[in-house]
């Protein structure tokens, strides 16, 4: 079974049914499985190797396949069911973190404003037995701020002939996995080391929040609601060293579509509820986003920061210019006819491969590239913007893009909570702990010899 975007001539991947006997799963009786499903009896079984997987080079091993089978609604419901049955000493605190790109999906799906959609989603999750529901925007704040600082450092070193540009973003797990498993050493040094919002959120929940609540990280079951399936692979890749405590930051990832399916099947009476904050604030926090067309907005925020730090230029409006197609756009900073900064956004693997080919040949003209595996960005994640036959639901996507663009933008520098966390939790913006929690080392492997032979 080959992935839709696979670049291999042959594929050693096996489906769940191909190698069922080799997948380590916990035994459970049919009666137990039926009871755990409850009113969600129509939930689809977890897909191990997804037709829209964006990683290549036999990236999903049999062992990972077994782990992916647990990245499902049934595993989430299993934990909820254990909480209802077990004695309180064995209960786990369920915390759900929602990506900002998922909220427009729920708003469009249920014909609600994005604020009402967040309240409806939170109310539904708590009616199931979830204890806390968070927004991951604050985690994206850290990812963007660290990317800003890293770009400025790289720019100065690049001027000293160390050649660390272009810097390629590392927030999209499909792209990062492709870079690590297929493209290898020529590309890895260009990847930003700042952790993705999901990885940062894992540390916030399992380390910072756990300490505030006097809980051990193992007592928290952390679920992320995300727009794409690659976030499930990212959760597995985090292994057991995501947080300072050594606990895995994300235990389970559910796509927006999986949650919506549960909401449609539940028949529960839901009381709309405001989302929680990591700080225990009583006041409801308004829904905010970053300045990205359909992503976390690394390009726009890094561009403004670099223009100010490097050239003393204040950029209010970031103007995108489409080049070869609408999924490859360029942003430049010019002074007296000279281009000072040249940034780009590359969405979809066709544009990614064109960009990496030029980079390998030393002909990539950019200082910074925001790379996203899904065409049109995160809103078009395969976990939410799909029709029943697996195609992009263009009408739904257009509606979601309109909703997302209407959400007020919050610059990451303006968050007082982020500054407090830097000081109190991370012991300073440049401390060893901040480096450990907010940055990662990308693992390189030998590139596949035919990885760039694909014909589009």
Q: CA separation (Å) from 102 to 71, 76, 147, 249, 383? A: 17, 18, 23, 20, 9
Longest Cα–Cα distance in the chain: 74
Distance CA 110, CA 132 (A): 22
Q: Is 267 exposed, middle or buried (0-12, 13-18, 19+ CB in 10 A)?
A: exposed
Residues of the chain with pLDDT > 70, as a percent, come to 78
Q: Residue 78: what pLDDT?
A: 87
- Cα-to-chain-centroid distance, residue 437: 17
| 183: number of Cβ within 10 Å | 26
Q: What does the angle CA 201 – CA 204 – CA 205 come to, to the nearest 5 degrees?
A: 90
DSSP strand pairing (252-255 vs 132-135) = unpaired
pLDDT of residue 388: 76
Is residue 210 scored above 90 in pLDDT?
Answer: yes
Residue 196 pLDDT greater than 80, yes or no: yes
DSSP string, 291-320: S-SSS--HHHHHHHHHHHHHH-----SPPP
Helix 30-37 × helix 73-85 angle, to 10°:
90
Q: What number of other Cβ atoms are within 10 A of residue 41's Cβ?
A: 8
Q: What is the pLDDT of residues 341-366, one digit of tens each?
A: 999 999 988 899 899 999 999 899 99
The pLDDT assigned to 453 comes to 38
Mean pLDDT value of segment 136-157: 94
What pLDDT score was predicted for residue 211? 93
Distance, C-alpha 236 to centroid of its chain: 13
Does the pTM exceed 0.75?
yes
272-318 pLDDT, tens digit per residue, is 999 999 997 767 778 899 887 777 789 999 999 999 999 999 998 89
Work out the pLDDT band at 67, boundaries 50, 70, 90. low
Q: Which of 295, 414, 395, 387 lies closest to 346 in space, CA to CA? A: 295
For 239-281, what is each residue's pLDDT tens digit?
544 555 567 899 999 999 999 999 988 887 788 999 999 997 7
- Give whole-number Cα distances, 289 to 16, 46, 101, 141, in Å: 38, 30, 9, 10
CA geometry: angle at 129 spanning 123 and 134, to 5°?
55
> What does the DSSP 8-state code read for residue 392?
B
pLDDT for the residue numbered 116: 95
Could you check whether the bond before residue 434 is cis, i.e. omega within 30 degrees of 0? no
User: How far apart (Å, rounded) are the C-alpha atoms in residues 390 and 159?
Assistant: 46
Whether residue 51 is predicted with pLDDT greater than 90 in this model: the reply is no
- Whether the per-residue pLDDT at 440 is higher than 50: the answer is yes
Average pLDDT over residues 415-419: 92
Compute the distance between CA of residue 420 and CA of residue 426 in angstroms, rounded to an integer. Answer: 9
Taking CA atoms, 11 is separated from 2, 7, 177, in Å, by 6, 9, 17
Give the 3-state secondary structure of residue 159.
Answer: helix
In which band, very low, low, confident or very high, does the pLDDT at 448 lie, cut at 50, 70 and 90? very low
- Average pLDDT, integer, range 146-171: 86
Q: Is the pLDDT of residue 53 over 90?
A: no
391 band by pLDDT with thresholds 50, 70 and 90: confident
Average pLDDT over every residue of 164-177: 91
Task: Give the pLDDT of residue 250.
Answer: 92
From 4-18, 58-72, 155-169, 306-320, the region with the lowest mean pLDDT = 4-18
Q: Edge-to-edge, what's the strand order for the sheet holding 321-325?
A: 167-168, 368-372, 338-347, 328-335, 321-325
| Spatial distance between the Cα atoms of 226 and 383, rounded to a whole number of angstroms | 8
Q: What percent of the chain is modeled with pLDDT above 90?
A: 52
């Amino acid at each position: 079974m080959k992935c839709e975007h696979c670049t291999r001539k042959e594929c050693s991947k096996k489906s769940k049914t191909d190698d069922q006997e080799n997948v380590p799963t916990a035994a459970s009786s049919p009666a137990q499985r039926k009871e755990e499903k409850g009113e969600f009896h129509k939930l689809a079984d977890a897909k191990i190797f997804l037709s829209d997987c964006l990683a290549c080079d036999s990236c999903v091993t049999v062992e990972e396949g077994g782990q992916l089978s647990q990245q499902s609604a049934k595993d989430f419901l299993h934990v909820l069911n254990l909480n209802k049955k077990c004695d309180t000493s064995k209960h786990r605190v369920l915390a759900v973190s929602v990506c900002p790109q998922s909220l427009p999906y729920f708003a469009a799906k249920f014909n609600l404003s994005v604020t009402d959609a967040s309240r409806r989603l939170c109310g539904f999750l708590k009616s199931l037995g979830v204890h806390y529901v968070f927004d991951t925007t604050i985690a994206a704040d850290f990812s963007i701020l660290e990317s800003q600082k890293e770009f400025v450092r790289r720019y100065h070193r690049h001027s000293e002939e160390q050649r660390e540009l272009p810097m390629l973003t590392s927030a999209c797990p499909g792209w990062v996995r492709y870079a690590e498993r297929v493209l290898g050493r020529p590309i890895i040094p260009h990847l930003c080391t700042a952790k993705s919002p999901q990885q940062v959120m894992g540390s916030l929940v399992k380390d910072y929040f756990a300490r505030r609540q006097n809980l051990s990280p193992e007592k928290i079951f952390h679920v992320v609601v995300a727009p794409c399936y690659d976030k499930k692979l990212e959760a597995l890749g985090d292994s057991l060293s995501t947080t300072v405590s050594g606990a895995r930051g994300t235990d389970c990832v559910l796509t927006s579509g999986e949650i919506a399916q549960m909401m449609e099947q539940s028949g529960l009476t839901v009381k709309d509820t405001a989302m929680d904050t990591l700080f225990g604030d009583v006041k409801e926090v308004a829904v905010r986003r970053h300045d990205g067309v359909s992503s976390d907005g690394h390009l726009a925020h890094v561009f403004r920061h670099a223009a100010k730090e490097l050239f003393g230029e204040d950029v209010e409006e970031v103007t995108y210019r489409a080049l070869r197609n609408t999924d490859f756009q360029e942003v430049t900073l010019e002074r007296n006819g000279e281009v000072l900064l040249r940034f780009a956004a590359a969405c979809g693997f066709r544009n990614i491969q064109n960009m990496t080919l030029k980079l390998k040949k030393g002909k990539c003209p950019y200082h910074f590239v925001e790379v996203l595996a899904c065409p049109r960005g995160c809103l078009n994640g395969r976990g939410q913007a799909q029709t029943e036959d697996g195609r992009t639901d263009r009408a739904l996507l257009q509606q979601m893009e309109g909703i997302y663009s209407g959400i007020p933008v919050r610059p990451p520098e303006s968050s007082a909570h982020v500054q407090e966390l830097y000081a109190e939790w991370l012991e300073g913006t440049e401390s060893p702990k901040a480096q450990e929690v907010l940055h990662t080392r990308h693992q390189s492997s030998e590139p596949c010899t035919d990885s760039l032979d694909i014909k589009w």
